[in-house]
Amino acid sequence: MSDHPGTDLKHDPTAGIAELADRCVMCGLCLPHCPTYALDASEAESPRGRIRLARALAEDPPRIDTGLRLHLDSCLGCLQCERVCPSQVQYGEILVRTRALIGPAPNRPTWLLGVLKRPLPATLLLAAARALHLRTWLPSLLRTALPKRTTALQVALAWLGPRPRARARPPEPRSEGRRHVALFPGCIASIEDAAALQAAQDLLQAAGFSVQRLAATCCGALDLHDGATAQATRAANRLQAACRNLPADTPVLTATPGCLGTLRRQLPHLRIEDATGYLARHGTRLQFRALGERVAVHLPCTSRNVSRDSQDVLALLRLVPGLSVLEVPESPGCCGAAGSHALQFPAQARRLRAQVLRHVADLAADRLLSSNIGCRLHLSAGNRSLPTEHPLTLLARQLEPRSAP
Ligand code: SF4
Ligand code: SF4
């Protein structure tokens, strides 16, 4: 979200909130771009209303109560408002600091997120779910067995489904004359999006890079954006240890754009880039086999509003002869997945998803592509009949074997 180091939040989370908020001139130009404002036209659910609230809470923390904080908890953190703001208000930084001040939302599924953030327990959980053939008896369980308070678990279970299996192949040995990049696997993405990670490695190697895989660990995005400051700081420390020996001129790439803003925040001395955008700029001479399909491309908020390179993925996909590349319209601006938002606000997340899936249906595509694992799980839970995948796995499948840089 910003370039400030995350570790400063544990000392004084209120620092700078008022100054950051004062840059807002209350013009309201961001309101039409805010997905939560668009749902009910409520000022409290708009960027302007939230900035006003953040300022008031920073000045008078005892005013924090469930009713007031709900409007900050329900923010998607999509940063549409920050992208369109003519006064360049750093909304993302205001949100991170205010959530650090008020702490995690009362309905945050801490235990579930604790599992998802750790690659080993998450691997065991998912292996158990598949061994038990969860999908065969899951629908009736969702309808009847689970009590209402397990909503987050219901959402998470609905995300379970068949995924392309990918056995990690070791990167090719480093060789003279090849530019070097490091690939960040993430936490749950290193398991659920292992195929995308392998595809990124294959495409980068075909484009002439030597690739180093970093250790799988959580970047801390979920905790940072939820106001769990102590956990975010611990994640930042683990991340910094994993990247300690990287030369400053080695780009760190992630196939998961949701990690991008937090990686940039926690590793300000390194160059962090989205792997798809990087390939779009450095892999233009890759050659692909033709594919006669229509693909709908969903551009995640982080690609539009953080890396701001969302058009790169479209350009890269258009290198595949015969592929009809259709961009899913931007409105409503966020599909509702938004980190842990869908687990905490499932009804709001479903309303936003329904709008995106209507656009997808209008495009009559054979397949839906999205580079964000959270968006993909959320969208595919709303339409099981449409195949979904990461753009890089499609590209790696179509790669000409002798494709050369
Ligand atoms: S955040 Fe920016 S666009 Fe929105 S009301 Fe404030 S100044 Fe205007
Ligand atoms: S981050 Fe997204 S949901 Fe939150 S106020 Fe800005 S536009 Fe609205």
> Would you say the CB of residue 33 lies under 6 angstroms from ligand 1?
no
Residue 318 — very low, low, confident or very high, per pLDDT cuts 50/70/90?
Answer: very high
Say how many C-beta atoms besides its own lie within 10 A of residue 404's C-beta. 10
> Would you say the CB of residue 75 lies under 6 angstroms from ligand 2?
yes
Class of domain 6-102: mainly alpha
Q: How far is the CA of 78 from the centre of ligand 2 (A)?
A: 5
> Would you say the CB of residue 34 lies under 6 angstroms from ligand 2?
yes
* C-alpha to C-alpha distance for 47 and 137, rounded to whole angstroms: 42
**Structural element, H or E, at residue 252:** strand 252-254
> Would you say the CB of residue 92 lies under 6 angstroms from ligand 2?
no
Would you state the pLDDT for residue 187?
Answer: 87
> Would you say the CB of residue 302 lies under 6 angstroms from ligand 2?
no
Ligand 2 pocket mutation pick from 81, 226, 335, 341 by most atoms within 8 angstroms of CB:
81
Q: What is the pLDDT of residues 49-66, one digit of tens each?
A: 999 999 999 988 777 787
Class of domain 179-281: alpha beta
Chain region(s) in the chain for CATH 3.40.50 = 179-281, 286-398
Q: Which residues contact 401 (CB under 8 A, 6 or more apart)?
A: none
Chain region(s) in the chain for CATH 1.10.1060.10 = 6-102
Would you state the pLDDT for residue 66?
Answer: 79
Q: Tell me which ligand sits closest to the C-alpha of residue 27.
A: 1
If DSSP codes are grouped into helix, strand and coil, which group holds residue 178? Answer: coil
Which CATH number is 286-398 given? 3.40.50
> Would you say the CB of residue 77 lies under 6 angstroms from ligand 2?
yes
> Would you say the CB of residue 270 lies under 6 angstroms from ligand 2?
no
CA-closest residue to ligand 1 atom 8 = 27
Nearest atom of ligand 2 to the alpha carbon of 301? 2
Is residue 133 predicted with pLDDT exceeding 70? no
Would you state the pLDDT for residue 117?
Answer: 67
Is residue 395 predicted with pLDDT exceeding 90? yes
Ligand 2 pocket mutation pick from 70, 71, 75 by most atoms within 8 angstroms of CB:
75
Name which residue leads in pLDDT, 133 or 202.
202
CB 286 within 8 A of CB 269: no
Would you state the pLDDT for residue 122?
Answer: 61
Q: What is the pLDDT of residues 202-250, one digit of tens each?
A: 999 999 999 999 999 999 998 999 899 999 999 999 999 989 889 989 9
Structure pTM?
0.86
Q: What is the pLDDT of residues 71-95, one digit of tens each?
A: 999 999 999 999 999 999 999 999 9
